[in-house]
Structure 1
C-alpha cells in the first residue's frame, strides 16, 4: 500500500526548522541533532522535504517496531476509520479492543490481566508504582542507576539521569537507587563475573539486612535492557536473583519493557532472556503500533485496584489498539523476534570488526535490534578494568556525521557517549549491510573533524 504524503509548502528543511524554532518551546530536542523536516516515510526509509533518503535507526525511539507506514498497520487504521467506531472509548470495550486484549494477553501467563493507562510509558510506570503501593501498603521503591522510566514527577524520581531532575524539586519521595550491572563500566570497579556476582549478592543482602537503613519497599522497578542508559543488558543471574528475592519478600517486581518489548531484543520481552516472570510489565511505544497507548500486564494476585482507582481519558485509543493488534500478528506470523535476533547478531558482529580499525569503539553490546556502541578516547589511559574514558565530543560528532551520511540514530548513556541503533525489527540483511557501511564512513568523517 503506497503512502500519499501531505504536499510540503516549501522545499527547504531550514524553512520548517526556522518556523519550528519560532513556534515551539526550547524543550524540543531531536530537531537540534537531526535537523530535517520529514515529508514521508516507508519501512526503514525517511524522506525529507528536500528529497533526501535517510535510513532510520531511531524508529520513533523504538515505537515503530515494523518501521514507518507498514501496510498491515495502515490497512487496520483505515478499517477503523471506515467502520464508524469511536476513536476513543474511555475503558468501555469494543470488538477491536476485545481482539487486541486477547492477543496481548496471549503473550503472558494465564493468571495475568491487562490495565489500560494513559497514553505514555510514564503514565504506565506511575500506575504500576501506585498499584504496588496499594497492594503492599508500603511506600518505598527501589530503582537502578542508569534506568529511565519517564519524565513525570513519579517516573522521573525513579530515573537515573540527573539533568532533568536538577531544577525540579519535590519529586516522589522514597526512591532508593541501587547499582545496575554494566559489563564495560562496572559500578563496583570489578568487571566481568566478579562484578555481577558482587552486585547479585549486594541486592539480596541489602533487602535482608535488618541494618540496611531502608524499610522493605513496595516495589522494585527496572529495565531488563537499559535503553536511554546506554543499551545495557542485565545479566541473567542478577535478574534471577532479583526475582527470587522479591518473590520471597512479597515485593512487587515491575519490569519496564517500554523500549525493549515487542521482539526488539530477539524475544517478545527482554526479561524472557532471564527465564523469569515479573509481577507487573509496563508497555508503551510499540504496543500501540506507533500510536499513543500504554498498558500494564498484571499478575491477578497483585490486582488490588478498586473500581476507578486509576483512570485516564485516553486509555481507549481504538486506532492504537487496531494498530497494536497488527503488530502482534506480524511479529507472530513472520517470526520477527527471530529476525531481530539474526540481524542484531550480524550488526554487532560487523560493528565489532570495526574495533580493530577504530579504537574509539570501546564496547559493542545489546540484544536483538537494541544495540549500543560506546565511544571512548583510546588515546588516554584505561582504568583498572581496561575501559577507556568516554568521549562525548566524538560521540556527538559521530551522530552529526551519521546524519550527514543519511543515517538517523540517537545517543544515550552517561554523557551521551553511546551510539544507539534501534532500527525496525523488519530490517533486512541488505539494509543492515548499508547501515554498517554508512556508520563506518561516519566514523571516518567524525574522527577527521574532531581529531584531525
Structure 2
C-alpha cells in the first residue's frame, strides 16, 4: 500500500485553492519523476504506468535520453523563433520526416501547441479550403475544449454546458457495437449507423453539399476506447466522397504507433484528407500538428497563425522522437502488436472470471475495459470502475478512466514484459477485491 505524507496532502489542498477545477482524479497522485516503466510520486511511491500520462509518453517516461538531450541542447541556442513570422531550419527538418510517415499525397503542416489547437486549425482549414461551413462528428467524440473544437466534441454534456450554441455541428452515432443505438448486431446490421447518416442528417438536416468535413477518431478515446468494425471507415468514406465531404482523422491519442501503425486509421485501410496529431509527438513537450493533403492546397496569408507553434524546444524533442520511431518502426510495430495481443488475452481470461467486465476491446496498446453492474442489462458500473482504479492505485498501478464506465490501458510502447505482467496482476487483484465486496 502506498503512503501519503502531509506534504502530498498540502499539495492537493493548495491545488484545489489555486486552480480552477479540471479533470483530476480523486486518488492522491502527485507526480515527481519517472524512470523507464515506472513513475514516482512526491513521497517516493513507485507506480507502474498504464496511462502514459494520457498517451503522451509513448516511448516511456523520460525513457528516450535523446529526446531530453535534444531539448536541452536547443534551450541553449534559441527557444522561441516566432515561427509564424520568421523562418527556422529545424521545423523544416522535422516536417520532412513527419510527412515521410504520412500517406502519399501529403505535403503541408501547421504546427501548434496541443491536440485541441490542431483540431481547431483543421476545422478552420476545412472551412476555408472548401468554402463550406457545416461539420460532422460522432456522438461520444472528443476533439477538444476550445470553442470550435468543442462544437465537434460530444462526449459528456458537462463539457458543452453553457458554452453553446454550436450551430454548424452535426453529430451522428458511432459504430459502438457493444451498445448499438439501433439494437442491431454486426455484421448482420449492414451498417445501420451509416444508413442512418444517409437517411436523416444528409437528407433532412442539411444539404450534404454544404458540409465541409467529417471529423473522426479511428478509435474513440474519451468516449470509452471504442473500436469500430474494421470495414466501417471504408463504407463511411464512400459516402463522404460521394458528397465531397472531407475526412479529418483525429490521431491525437491513437496515433504515433499506439496501435502498431504510425496512424491508427491505417488499420482500417483508409486515408483521410487531413490528420491531426499531438500528445506523444514531442515526447512530453507541448506540440500539435495539422497535416493537409496536397490536393487541398493552402490557406490565404493571415487566415490562421499563432505565437508558440513551432517552438524550437518542442520541435527539437519531436525531431529526436521521430528519428527514433523511423529507425525502429518495424521493431515497435512487432512489439506493440505482440504486447497488445498478450494484454487482450489476459483481459479476456479475466472477463470469464469477473462478471463486472462487460467488454474488452482494442488494437495494439490502445485497449479499453468496459465495467458493468450486470452483463445482461449492461448498466454502466460507474462506482465499480472508480473502486477498481482506486484499488489499483493503492497497490502501485496508475490508469485512467474513459467513457461512462471504461478503463483505458495505454502503457508506454516500450513497457517491459515484467512490468506489463505485474501491472495486469495488480489489475486482476483489484477486480477480485471489488467483486468480493
TM range (shorter): over 0.9
Q: How far did 1:21 drift?
A: 2.1
Residue 14 of structure 2 corresponds to 19
2:396 counterpart of 1:406: yes
SS in 2 for 1:336: helix
Q: Which moved more, 1:331-340 or 1:117-126?
A: 331-340
Distance 1:124 1:171, change over 3 A: farther
Matched, 1:214 2:206: yes
Structure 1 position 253, deviation (Å): 0.8
Can you give the 5+ residue segments of structure 1 that lack an aligned partner in the other structure?
1-9
- Which residue of structure 2 aligns with residue 61 of structure 1? 54
Q: Give unmatched runs, 5+ long, in structure 2.
A: none
Matches within 5 A, 1:366-445: 366-378=362-374, 382-383=376-377, 388-413=378-403, 415=404, 417-445=405-433
Q: Secondary structure at the match of 2:223?
A: coil
Contact 1:62 1:422 in 2 (8 A): yes
1:355 to 347, 351, 355: 351
SS of the aligned residue for 1:442 comes to helix
Whether 1:266 aligns to 2:260 is: yes
In structure 1, what is the equivalent of residue 197 of structure 2? 203
Instruction: Name the structure 1 match of 2:340.
Output: 344
TM-score (norm 1): 0.90
**CA offsets 1:74-131 (integer angstroms, 9 cap, x no match):** 111122123x133343234433212211110101234212332431111111111111
Cα 1:195–1:428 shift into 2, 3 Å: farther
The alpha-carbon deviation at position 278 of structure 1 amounts to 0.5
| Superimposed CA distance per residue, residues 397-444 of structure 1 (whole angstroms, 9 cap, x where no aligned partner) | 11111111111111111x2x0011111111122221111101011112
Residue number among 214, 234, 239 corresponding to 1:245 in the alignment: 239
Q: Distance in 1 between matches of 2:406 and 2:148?
A: 26
Structure 1 counterpart of 2:97: 103
The answer to whether the Cα contact below 8 Å between 2:141 and 2:223 also exists between their aligned partners in 1 is: yes
Q: Cα distance, 1:135 vs. partner?
A: 1.7
Query: Does structure 1 residue 231 correspond to structure 2 residue 214?
Result: no
State the alpha-carbon separation in 2 of the partners of residues 322 and 142 from structure 1.
35
Q: Which residue of 2 aligns with 1:41?
A: 34
Contact 1:185 1:191 in 2 (8 A): no
Correspondences of 1:79-98 after superposition (within 5 Å): 79-82=73-76, 84-91=77-84, 92-98=86-92
Native 8 Å contact 1:41 1:69 kept in 2: yes
Over the aligned positions, Cα root-mean-square deviation in angstroms equals: 1.9
Give the TM-score taking structure 2 as reference length: 0.93
Alignment length, in residue pairs? 427
Match of 2:434 among 440, 446, 449: 446
1:320-331, aligned counterparts within 5 Å?
A: 320-331=314-325
Check conservation: 1:63, 1:289, Cα contact below 8 A: yes
Distance change >3 Å, CA 196–CA 343, structure 1 → 2: farther
Residue in 1 aligned with 2:125?
Answer: 131
* CA shift for structure 1 position 213: 3.1
Of structures 1 and 2, the one scoring higher in RCO (CA 8 A, sep 6+) is 2
Counterpart secondary structure, 1:226: coil
Please state how far the C-alpha of 1:326 moved relative to its aligned partner. 2.1
Q: What displacement does 1:167 show?
A: 3.0
Supply the distance in 1 between the matched residues of 2:133 and 2:427 (Cα, whole angstroms): 46
